[in-house]
Amino acid sequence: MNLRIAIAFALTVLVTNSAFAAAPELKSLLPAGAQRGKTVEVTISGSLGTPPVRGWCSRDDVTITVPEKGSKFTVAVPADSQPGLCWIRLTNAEGASALRPFVVGTLTETLDKEPNNELKKAQQLSSTQVVVHGALAKAGDVDVFAVPLKAGETLVASLEANGLLGSPMDGLLQVVSPAGFVLQQNDDARGFDPQFAFTATTTGTHFVRVFAFPSKPNSSIRLAGAATYIYRLTLTNGPFVDHTIPFSVTRGAGRSVQLRGWNLNDSLQTFSIPETGDAETVRVHHAQLANTLEVRVDEHASISEPEPDVADKSIEFTLPATITGCISSAGDEDGFAFTAKKGERLALRIDSRSLGQELDAVIELKDAAGKVLKRVDDPKRGEFDPALDYTVPKDGQYVLSVSDLFGHGGLRYAYRLTAELQTPNFQLGAAANTFKLTAGTPLKLPVTVTRERGFAGDIEITATGLPEGVAVTAVASVAKDKATAKKVELVLTAAEDIIVDSGFQIVGTPKGDDDKRVRKATAPIAGLTSKTSDLWLTVLKPAPKKK
C-alpha cells in the first residue's frame, strides 16, 4: 500500500467513525434494581452508544461501570445505601440517554428464567421474600413462579411495571392453588400495576402467574409482550407497607407516621420521620420492609381522620390543612367542617389514585344547612383524583364530604385531602431533559412559564450547576410583557475549546416580593409520567472549518 492510499484509507476510517458516532439510548433496564450490598449486570433495551461511555446516577453512592465493549453495564450498590428509587443515565461525547428508574431494595433479588410459562415449568424461588426482575419478552408470554406457603401465611404480590418503570403493559397477577385453580387475581390495584395480599388456607406450593395486555389497547385480544415489557415483582410473606397514616407531615422534627399494610410486627407499626430540612418529601424505609414509600412534607398542619368513624359527625379543622382519611367500608362517607369568610378563594383537592390507592373519590362542598354547593368527581377522562376551586359566598361554616363514586371501601381506599386558600404561584417547564451545545455557537433554550391563580410578579430565570466554561445569560419573565410572560429563552454559550458534559438545573426566583422560594424547571422523562429537574448538557466539538 503506497502512502497516498494509506492516507486516503485513514481519512475514510476517521470520517466513517465520526459519521457513526452515537449517543447512548436507554429504553429499559433489566434488572431495574439491585439489593443493597450487591453488584448487578444490567441488560439494556437500546444502545450503549460510542465509547467511552460514562454512567450517572442521582445518588452519589451508586457506582455505574460501562465497559468499552459489549451491550451491558454494571451497577454497584453499597450495603448501607438507603432503599428506594434512583435514576440512571448514560453519557458520552455525543450526548446523553434518557433517565431510567432503578430501585435499591432490601430483599434478595433474582431474574426470571425461561421457560417458565406453565405450572409444570414454574420457576422455583429460593425464598418466600424475594424480588423477581423479568420481562414478558414476546406476545403470549407468561411467567410462573412457585412459592411454598403454609396455611395461614399471607403472601403479598406487588408488580411494578407501568407506573414506575414505564413499561407499556397492563399487568395481571394470579395466585394458583397447588391443585391448579386460580384463587385470586388482580389487574389494576395501582393504576395499570396489580397487587394483592393472599392468605393461604392450605399448606403447599402455590403459583404466582404474571401476564399482560398492552396499556394502550389495540385490535389484538391476545396476551402481549415485548423487550420493553419489563417488571419488578415483589413476593413476600414478610412485612410490606401499603401506605402511611398520615400521607404527609408538617415540616420540622419529631414527626411520625403509622404504617398500614400486611405482616407488620409491633416494631413496624410506626415510623419516626427524621428532620425534614428543606426536603419536599421524606422516604419511609426499614431493613425489615420489602418496600419503601414517600411522605410529602407540608408547610401547614397535617392531621388524620380519627378511627373508627363517628357516624354523621364532621371533624372540625382550620384552614390550611392536609387531612388523611380512609373510606374504610362500603358506603362510608367522611365529613370535615371548617370556617371561611366571604370572598376567600378555596383550593381543595384529593390525592388517592395518584398515591396508588383504589378510591374513585367524590368531593362535595356543603353549607352549614347541608345544601350541596359544589360536587366534583373526575376532572377529566382517565383521571380519578378530583380538585375544586371555590369562592366563598358568605361568612360561615362549611363541610367537605369525601366518598367513593361507587360506594366501595376498604384498607386501600385511603386518601389525602388538601384544603387551603388559593395562593398565586408559578411553574417552569423545559421541553426536554437533555441538550446539546456546540462550542462556539449559542444554544437557545426555551422555558415555559405557567402562572397559576393570578400570579402577577416578575421572575428571574437562570441556569445553575453549569460546568466551568459554559455561560448563561439570565432573563426575566415580566408579567405585563406579552413576549416574556409565558415563555422566555435562556442562551447558553461555550468557548470553542470547551468539550464537557454535566448536569444542570433551570431555576426561577420571584422578584420584588417576600416569596423567595426557588422554583425548578421540570422536564418530561421519556415513557414515564414522572418529570425531572435534573437536566443534562453536552458540549460538542464545532464542525471542522472549511479550508
Number of neighbours of residue 85 by Cβ within 10 angstroms: 17
Is residue 168 within 8 Å of 228, Cβ to Cβ?
yes
Share of the chain above pLDDT 70, in %: 95
Q: Using H for helix, E for strand and C for coil, what is the string for 405-439?
A: CCCCCCCCCEEEEEEEECCCEEEEECCCCEEEEEC
Is residue 454 within 8 Å of 347, Cβ to Cβ?
no
Asked if 308-422 and 425-540 have one fold, the answer is: no
Mean of per-residue pLDDT scores for the chain:
93
For residue 30, the cross-strand partners are: 43
Is residue 172 within 8 Å of 212, Cβ to Cβ?
yes
Q: Per this entry, what is the length of the chain?
A: 547
Q: Which residue has the higher pLDDT, 518 or 87?
A: 87
- Band the pLDDT of 514: cuts 50, 70, 90: low
Phi-psi region of 117 (alpha: psi -120 to 50; beta: other; left: phi over 0): alpha
Is residue 533 within 8 Å of 521, Cβ to Cβ?
yes
Asked if CATH classification 2.60.40 holds for the domain at 3-101, the reply, yes or no, is yes
- pLDDT score of 107: 98
**Span 378-403, pLDDT tens digits:** 877 778 999 999 999 999 999 999 99
CATH assignment of 108-238?
Answer: 2.60.120.380
Alpha carbons 148 and 471: distance in angstroms, whole number: 61
Give the residue from 251, 240, 370, 245 showing the smallest Cα distance to 299: 251
- Band the pLDDT of 342: cuts 50, 70, 90: very high
For residue 450, the cross-strand partners are: 427
Phi, psi of 407 (to 5 degrees): 75, 15
DSSP 522: B
Phi, psi of 178 (to 5 degrees): -55, -25
Residue type, 333: E
Q: Which three cell numbers stand for residue 266?
A: 409491633
Q: Which residue has the higher pLDDT, 276 or 86?
A: 86
Residue ranges per structural domain of the chain: 3-101, 108-238, 245-299, 308-422, 425-540
Lowest mean pLDDT of 30-34, 250-254, 344-348, 455-459, name the range: 250-254
Alpha carbons 221 and 228: distance in angstroms, whole number: 19
Mean per-residue pLDDT, 315-334: 96
pLDDT above 50 for 423: yes
**Span 444-460, pLDDT tens digits:** 999 999 999 999 999 99
Mean per-residue pLDDT, 48-62: 97
Match domain 308-422 to its CATH number in 1.10.3470.10, 3.40.50.300, 2.60.120.380, 1.10.630.10. Answer: 2.60.120.380
- 10 Å CB burial of residue 26 (0-12, 13-18, 19+) is buried
Alpha carbons 456 and 269: distance in angstroms, whole number: 46
Element of type H or E holding 86: strand 84-92
Alpha carbons 156 and 141: distance in angstroms, whole number: 23
CATH superfamily, domain 425-540, is ntegrin, alpha v. Chain A, domain 3 (2.60.40.1510)
Q: DSSP secondary structure string, 135-163?
A: E--STT--EEEEEEE-TT-EEEEEEESHH
CA dihedral 33, 54, 508, 523 (to 10 degrees): -50
Q: Where are the alpha helices (DSSP H) in 57-189?
A: 162-165
Lowest mean pLDDT of 6-10, 25-29, 44-48, 213-217, name the range: 6-10
pLDDT above 60 for 14: no
Alpha carbons 327 and 353: distance in angstroms, whole number: 13
Give the residue from 137, 145, 139, 138 showing the smallest Cα distance to 121: 145
- pLDDT score of 20: 72
3-state secondary structure of 12: helix
Element of type H or E holding 9: helix 3-20
DSSP 193: B
Give the residue from 537, 539, 540 showing the smallest Cα distance to 502: 537
Alpha carbons 134 and 32: distance in angstroms, whole number: 9
| Residue tagged 391563580 (cell numbers) | 453
Is residue 365 within 8 Å of 340, Cβ to Cβ?
no
pLDDT above 60 for 115: yes
- Band the pLDDT of 220: cuts 50, 70, 90: confident
- Torsion sign, CA atoms 352, 356, 357, 361: positive
Phi, psi of 416 (to 5 degrees): -120, 115
- pLDDT score of 517: 77
- pLDDT score of 513: 65
**What b/e sequence results for 106-120 when a residue is b if at least 16 CB atoms lie within 10 Å of its CB, and e otherwise?**
bbebbebeeebeeee
Mean per-residue pLDDT, 350-369: 97
| Residue tagged 413499561 (cell numbers) | 167
- pLDDT score of 383: 82
Alpha carbons 317 and 322: distance in angstroms, whole number: 10
Lowest mean pLDDT of 97-111, 339-353, 421-435, 496-510, name the range: 496-510
Mean per-residue pLDDT, 15-23: 64
Mean per-residue pLDDT, 154-167: 98
pLDDT above 50 for 6: no
Mean per-residue pLDDT, 448-473: 95
- Torsion sign, CA atoms 455, 456, 457, 459: positive
Element of type H or E holding 66: none
